[in-house]
Amino acid sequence: MLKKISKFISKYRFKLKRITVRIERPEINDLTSIQEKVIKIVTDILIDPETELHTNPLDNKIYIKKIEDDKFSIFIVISHQERSYGINIVGKNLIKTTDVIEKFHYDVSIPTTAGRVLINKFHKKLKRIVTKMETDIFKENEDNLSDLLTSIKD
């Protein structure tokens, strides 16, 4: 009975959290089709677990790197400008049917609101990675202490 109540509460807590996130999400209007595609590309790359994330707080820049040897490699730099965010996408794409390597470079400016949404997604993913790393470190320390205690008792 207690499990059912707990499951019921967690289910509705999740739904409430989703609603509040939707309410707090800023409206991003008046984007060109190029800006929408760039935001979608950056979001899709951020979601991928194989993506490397780097940050440079001194220059206020964010670096995203994704390499798949048999498909493509892409490097994204997000920088804050005066009244917008600049997104610089550089990479190469392997077209398998012709074995041609297509190189690309896009430099797009997006509005501040849309840029903040991307920056928040970046920081949320970075926080999840750091939290997982800290958990792994604490677990390893606990295991090492347990091993030490066992060897002292023997």
Q: For position 27, what pLDDT does the model report? A: 58
Residue 23 maps to a domain? no
Instruction: Render pLDDT for 102-134 as a digit per residue (tens, 0 to 9).
Output: 899 999 999 988 999 899 989 999 999 999 999
Task: Report the predicted TM-score, pTM, of the whole model to 2 decimal places.
Answer: 0.70
- Give the range of the structural domain holding residue 117, as residue numbers without chain letter: 35-153
Residue 26 maps to a domain? no
Residue 30 maps to a domain? no
The total of structural domains in the chain comes to: 1
Residue 1 maps to a domain? no
Residue 12 maps to a domain? no
Per-residue H/E/C for the chain: CHHHHHHHHHHHHHHHHHHHHHHHCCCCCCCCHHHHHHHHHHHHHHHCCCCEEEEECCCCEEEEEEEECCCEEEEEEEEECCCEEEEEEEEEEEECCCCEEEEEEEEEEEEHHHHHHHHHHHHHHHHHHHHHHHHHHHHHHHHHHHHHHHHHHC
Residue 93 maps to a domain? yes
